[in-house]
Amino acid sequence: MRAERIEPVRRILCVFPRYTSSFGTFEHAYPLTDGVQAFMPPQGLLLIAAYLPANWPVRFIDENISPATKDDFEWAEAVFVSGMHIQRPQMNEICQRAHAFDLAVAIGGPSVSACPDDYPSFDYLHVGELGDATDELIARLSRDPSRPDAQVVLTTNERLPMTDFPVPAYELAEIRKYFLGSIQYSSGCPYQCEFCDIPGLYGRNPRIKSPQQIIAELDKLRECGVTGSVYFVDDNFIGNRKAALDLLPHLIAWQKRTGYVMRLACEATLNIAKRPEILEKMREAYFITIFCGIETPDPDALRAMQKDHNMMVPILEGIRTINSYGMEVVSGIIMGLDTDTPETGDALLTFVEESRIPLLTINLLQALPKTPLWDRLEREKRLVHDDSRDSNVEFLLPYDDVVEAWRKCMALAYRPEKLFARYAYQCEYTYANRLKVPISPEMKSWANIKRALIMLRNIFWKVGVLGDYRRAFWKFALPRLRHGDIEGLIASALVGHHLIVFARDASRGHQNASNYSIRLREASVPAE
Ligand code: SF4
pLDDT band at 520 (very low <50, low <70, confident <90, very high): very low
pTM of the model: 0.92
For position 526, what pLDDT does the model report? 29
Residue 513 is predicted with a pLDDT of 63
Which is nearest to 54 in space by CA: 5, 8, 12?
Answer: 5
Q: How far apart are CA 442 and CA 445, in angstroms?
A: 5
Residues 57 and 120: their CA atoms lie apart, in Å, by 28
Q: Whose CA is nearest to atom 8 of ligand 1?
A: 196
Cβ 269 under 6 angstroms from ligand 1: yes
pLDDT in tens, 463-485: 999 999 999 999 999 999 999 99
Return the H-helix or E-strand segment holding 378.
Answer: helix 372-379
155-173 tens-digit pLDDT: 999 999 999 999 999 999 9
Nearest to 226 by CA among 187, 265, 282, 268: 265
Residue 447 Cα, ligand 1 centroid: separation in angstroms? 39
Residue 235 phi, psi dihedral angles, 5° rounding: -70, -25
Is the bond into 8 cis (omega within 30 degrees of 0)?
yes
pLDDT higher than 80, residue 523: no
- Taking 3-state DSSP, the helix, strand and coil percentages for the chain, each rounded to the nearest 5, stand at 50, 15, 40
The alpha carbon of 189 and the centre of ligand 1 are apart by a number of angstroms equal to 6
Mean pLDDT in residue range 415-435: 96
Q: What tens digit of pLDDT does each residue of 375-398 get?
A: 999 999 999 988 788 899 999 999
Across the beta sheet with 229-232, the strand order is 181-183, 229-232, 263-267, 287-295, 328-335, 360-364
Residue owning the nearest CA to atom 6 of ligand 1: 193
What is the tens place of the pLDDT at every residue in 268-302? Answer: 999 999 999 999 999 999 999 999 999 999 999 99
Indicate the burial class of 223 (C-beta count within 10 angstroms; 0-12, 13-18, 19 or more).
exposed
264 lines ligand 1 (CB under 6 A): no
pLDDT at 204 over 50: yes
Q: Which atom of ligand 1 has the smallest separation from the CA of 235?
A: 3
Q: Are 289 and 430 in contact (CB under 8 A)?
A: no
Residues 6+ apart with CB under 8 A from 483: none
Please report, as a single letter, which amino acid is at residue 398. Answer: P
Q: Please tell me the predicted confidence (pLDDT) of residue 479.
A: 95
Calpha distance 270→275 (Å, rounded):
10
**Whether residue 456 has its Cβ less than 6 Å from ligand 1:** no
Rounded to whole angstroms, the Cα distance separating 401 from 189 reads 34
Which pLDDT does position 524 carry in this prediction? 32
Please state, as a whole number, how many other Cβ atoms lie within 10 Å of the Cβ of residue 357.
22
User: Above 70 in pLDDT, residue 310?
Assistant: yes
Three-class secondary structure assignment of 166-183: CCCCHHHCCHHHECCEEE
Ligand 1 in reach of 94 Cβ (< 6 A) = no
Residues 330, 285 contacting (CB under 8 angstroms)? no
CA distances from 121 to 12, 59, 147, 156, 415 (A): 19, 22, 11, 20, 44
Please state the atom number of ligand 1 nearest to the C-alpha of residue 269: 1
- The region of weakest confidence among 142-146, 226-230, 363-367 is 226-230
Integer CA distances (angstroms), 461 to 32, 453, 465, 490, 504, in order: 9, 12, 5, 13, 21
Cα 32 from Cα 462, distance rounded (Å): 8
193 lines ligand 1 (CB under 6 A): yes
Distance, C-alpha 166 to centroid of its chain: 21
Which of 186, 191, 306, 330 to mutate to test ligand 1, by most ligand atoms within 8 A of the CB atom? 191
Give start and end residues of each alpha helix (H) in 144-237: 198-202, 211-223
DSSP reduced 3-state for 148 = coil
- Band (511; pLDDT cuts 50, 70, 90): low
Helix (H, G, I), strand (E, B) or coil at 354: helix
Q: Please give the mean pLDDT across all residues of the chain.
A: 93
The answer on pLDDT for 521 being more than 70 is no
Given a cut of 80, whether residue 528 has pLDDT beyond it is no
Counting residues of the chain whose pLDDT is more than 70, the rounded percentage is 96
Give the mean model confidence (pLDDT) for residues 111-123: 95
For the stretch 93-97, contacts whose Cβ atoms lie closer than 8 Å and that sit 24 or more positions apart, written own/partner, are: 93/17, 93/525, 94/15, 94/17, 94/63, 94/68, 95/119, 95/121, 95/122, 96/121, 97/68, 97/73, 97/528
Per-residue pLDDT tens for 16-49? 999 877 788 899 999 999 999 999 999 999 999 9
| Per-residue confidence (pLDDT) for residue 6, from 0 to 100 | 87
Reply yes or no on whether the pLDDT at 522 is more than 80: no
Q: Quick one: CA dihedral 46, 47, 48, 51, positive or negative?
A: positive
